[in-house]
Amino acid sequence: MKKKLIIFGVGSLAKMMNFYFSRDSDYEVVAFTIDSKYKTKSEFLDKEIIEFERIQDKYPPQKFEMFIAIGPSKMNILREIKYTEAKAKGYELVSYISPYAICDSPVGENTIIADYAIIAPFVKVGFNNIFWEQCFIANDSVVGNNCWISPKAVVSTFAEICDNSVLGTAALIKTSIKISKKSLIGASSYISVNTLENGVYGEKSTSYY
Per-residue pLDDT of 6-39, as tens digits, reads 999 999 999 999 999 999 999 999 999 999 999 9
Helix (H, G, I), strand (E, B) or coil at 77: helix
**Residue 174 pLDDT more than 60?**
yes
Phi-psi map region of 164: left, alpha, beta (phi>0 left; psi -120 to 50 alpha): left
Residues 68-86 have a mean pLDDT of 97
Residue 191's Cβ-count burial label (10 Å; 0-12, 13-18, 19+) is buried
Residue 141: its pLDDT value, please?
A: 98
Q: What is the pLDDT of residue 155?
A: 98
What confidence category does residue 93 fall into, taking pLDDT thresholds of 50, 70 and 90? very high
Residue 82 to residues 63, 79, 123: CA-CA distances in angstroms?
19, 5, 26
| Exposed e or buried b per residue across 91-101, where buried means at least 16 C-beta atoms within 10 angstroms of its C-beta | bebbbbbbeeb
pTM for the complete prediction?
A: 0.95
Total Cβ atoms within 10 A of residue 23: 10
pLDDT at position 203 is 75
| Burial of 54 (C-beta count, 10 Å sphere; 0-12/13-18/19+) | exposed
Whole-angstrom distance, CA of residue 92 vs CA of residue 109: 8
The pLDDT of residue 208 is above 50: no
